[in-house]
Amino acid sequence: MTTTELPSCRFLEEMVSVLIVVPCGTVRIHIAQGVGHCAIREAHDVPFTSASRMISKLHTARATNSFEMQIAKLIDCDLLIINDFGLKPFTGIQDEDFHEVISECYERRSTIVTSNLDVPEWPDAFPNRILGSATIDRLRQGAYKIVLAGMNYWTAADKPG
């Protein structure tokens, strides 16, 4: 699948993930948001969150005994978009929470995950290597991987010209 095919939302029917991997400063968030917008126009429910915000909300939910309700909000959708995976490595129970979300979506919902890290670097985000491996396996199974190369937008904007 290419970036031009993503707006068709065919991957939603297949219930698979789309992994968007790009260097820092490129347009991964815009691609994910654009695909999300296309899915919304087709009447799909599409929450969008960063990985760190999702984990923070789940942590708060644990403290208030609303963890199951918060998980349900994330997975009771057609497409979950998680931006900036691996930007901040997980600590403590965070990798378990991320695994829980991915496991609940696996083969039942589609997920878009964006990252500046290439997929072989993803295990570095997990303190528990076995749990990380299981989570990544679920994300990669049948997934479409979009790898973009490009110039850093922010660096290019700073150049005189």
Say whether pLDDT at 159 is over 60.
no
Q: At what angle do helices 94-105 and 67-75 cross, to 10 degrees?
A: 40
- For 80, the 3-state DSSP assignment is strand
Of the listed ranges 13-17, 19-23, 44-48, 120-124, the one predicted with least confidence: 19-23
Looking at the chain, the whole-number percentage of residues with pLDDT higher than 70 is 88
pTM, to two decimals: 0.88
The runs of H, that is alpha helices, within 10-143 are 10-14, 28-41, 51-63, 67-75, 94-105, 129-140
